[in-house]
Chain A
Amino acid sequence: MASPKVAVVGAGVIGLSTALCITETCPSCSVTVLSDQFSPNTTSDVAAGMLIPHIYPDTPIHRQKQWFQETFTYLFAISNSAEASEAGIHLVSGWQIFKSPPKEELPFWSDIVLGFRPMSKAELQKFPQHQFGQAFTTLKCDCPPYLLWLEKRLKATGTQMYTRKVADLWELHSEYDVVVNCTGTGAHQLVGDKQLFPVRGQVLKVHAPWVTQFIRDGDGLTYIYPGIHRVTLGGTREKGSWSLSPDAGTTRDIFDRCCSLEPSLHAVQDIEVKVGLRPSRQCVRLQREVLSQGGIKLPVVHNYGHGAGGFSVHRGTAKEAAHLVEEYISALQGSSSRAKL
Chain B
Amino acid sequence: MRVAIIGAGVIGLSSALCIQEQFQSLLPSLQLEVYADRFSPHTTSDGAAGLWQPYLSDHSNLQETLWNKETFDYLLGQLHSPAAKEMGLFLISGYNLFREPPPDPSWKNIVLGFRNLTPKELELFPGYSHGWFNTALMLEGRSYLPWLTNRLTQRGVKFFHKKVESFQEVSGDGVDVVLNCSGMRSGDLQPDPELQPGRGQIIRVLAPWVKHFIITHDLKSGIYNSPYVIPGSEFTVLGGVYQHGNWSEEISAKDHKSIWDSCCQLLPALQKAKIVGEWSGLRPARPSVRLERESIRLGNRQAEVIHNYGHGGFGLTIHWGCAMAAARLFGTILQEKKHLATPPGPRL
Q: Is B one of A's binding partners?
A: yes
Residues on A with beta carbons closer than 8 Å to the beta carbon of B115: 115, 117
Please tell me if the beta carbons of A85 and B233 are within 8 angstroms of each other in the complex: no
Residues on B with beta carbons closer than 8 Å to the beta carbon of A89: 209
Residues on A with beta carbons closer than 8 Å to the beta carbon of B166: none
Residues on B with beta carbons closer than 8 Å to the beta carbon of A123: 112-113, 135
Residues on B with beta carbons closer than 8 Å to the beta carbon of A210: 85, 88, 90, 138, 233
Closest A residue to B121 using CB positions: A114
**8 Å CB contact of B269 from A81, A120, A135:** A81
Q: A115-B133, A263-B84, A264-B90 are in contact. Are A85 and B112 (CB under 8 A)?
A: no
Q: Does A226 contact B (CB under 8 A)?
A: yes
In the complex, A212 Cα to B213 Cα: how many Å? 10
Which residue among B123, B234, B268 has the maximum number of chain A CB atoms within 10 Å of its CB? B268
Q: A115-B115, A228-B209, A264-B84 are in contact. Are A212 and B269 (CB under 8 A)?
A: no
In the complex, A126 Cα to B113 Cα: how many Å? 13
Please tell me if the beta carbons of B85 and A212 are within 8 angstroms of each other in the complex: no
Residues on A with beta carbons closer than 8 Å to the beta carbon of B92: 212-213
Residues on A with beta carbons closer than 8 Å to the beta carbon of B121: 114-115, 137
Q: A81-B269, A126-B79 are in contact. Are A119 and B211 (CB under 8 A)?
A: no
CB distance from A290 to the nearest CB of B (A): 42
Residues on B with beta carbons closer than 8 Å to the beta carbon of A90: 209-211
Please tell me if the beta carbons of A213 and B273 are within 8 angstroms of each other in the complex: no
A interface size (C-beta, 8 A): 38
Residues 85-112 of chain A, each 1 if its beta carbon lies under 8 Å from chain B, else 0: 1101111111000000000000000000
Q: Does B82 contact A (CB under 8 A)?
A: yes
Please tell me if the beta carbons of A213 and B268 are within 8 angstroms of each other in the complex: no
Q: Does A80 contact B (CB under 8 A)?
A: yes
Q: Does B162 contact A (CB under 8 A)?
A: no
Q: Does A84 contact B (CB under 8 A)?
A: yes
Please tell me if the beta carbons of B120 and A114 are within 8 angstroms of each other in the complex: yes
Please tell me if the beta carbons of B211 and A91 are within 8 angstroms of each other in the complex: yes
Q: Does A267 contact B (CB under 8 A)?
A: yes
Please tell me if the beta carbons of B208 and A228 are within 8 angstroms of each other in the complex: yes
In the complex, A267 Cα to B117 Cα: how many Å? 34
Residues on B with beta carbons closer than 8 Å to the beta carbon of A142: 209
Residues 129-170 of chain B, each 1 if its beta carbon lies under 8 Å from chain A, else 0: 000010100100000000000000000000000000000000
Q: A114-B120, A212-B211 are in contact. Are A85 and B273 (CB under 8 A)?
A: yes
In the complex, A142 Cα to B209 Cα: how many Å? 9
Please tell me if the beta carbons of A82 and B208 are within 8 angstroms of each other in the complex: no
Q: Does A248 contact B (CB under 8 A)?
A: no
Q: Which of B86-128 contact A (CB under 8 A)?
A: 86, 88, 90-93, 112-113, 115, 117-118, 120-121, 123-124
Closest A residue to B94 using CB positions: A93
Residues 191-219 of chain A, each 1 if its beta carbon lies under 8 Å from chain B, else 0: 00000000000000000011111000000
Closest B residue to A214 using CB positions: B211
Residues 66-85 of chain B, each 1 if its beta carbon lies under 8 Å from chain A, else 0: 00000000000001111011
Residues on B with beta carbons closer than 8 Å to the beta carbon of A115: 115, 117-118, 121, 133
Residues on A with beta carbons closer than 8 Å to the beta carbon of B210: 90
Residues 117-136 of chain A, each 1 if its beta carbon lies under 8 Å from chain B, else 0: 10110110010000000010
CB distance from B144 to the nearest CB of A (A): 13
Please tell me if the beta carbons of A213 and B91 are within 8 angstroms of each other in the complex: yes
Q: Does A24 contact B (CB under 8 A)?
A: no
5 A-B pairs with least C-beta separation = A84-B269, A210-B90, A90-B209, A82-B268, A93-B93
User: Chain B interface (Cβ within 8 Å of chain A)?
Assistant: 79-82, 84-86, 88, 90-93, 112-113, 115, 117-118, 120-121, 123-124, 133, 135, 138, 207-212, 231, 233-234, 268-269, 271-273
Task: Taking A137-B133, A212-B93 as given, write out 18 further A-B residue pairs in contact, using a Cβ cutoff of 8 Å, ordered by the A residue number.
Answer: A82-B268, A85-B269, A89-B209, A93-B135, A94-B93, A114-B118, A120-B113, A122-B113, A123-B112, A126-B79, A126-B80, A142-B209, A209-B208, A211-B90, A212-B91, A264-B79, A264-B85, A266-B82
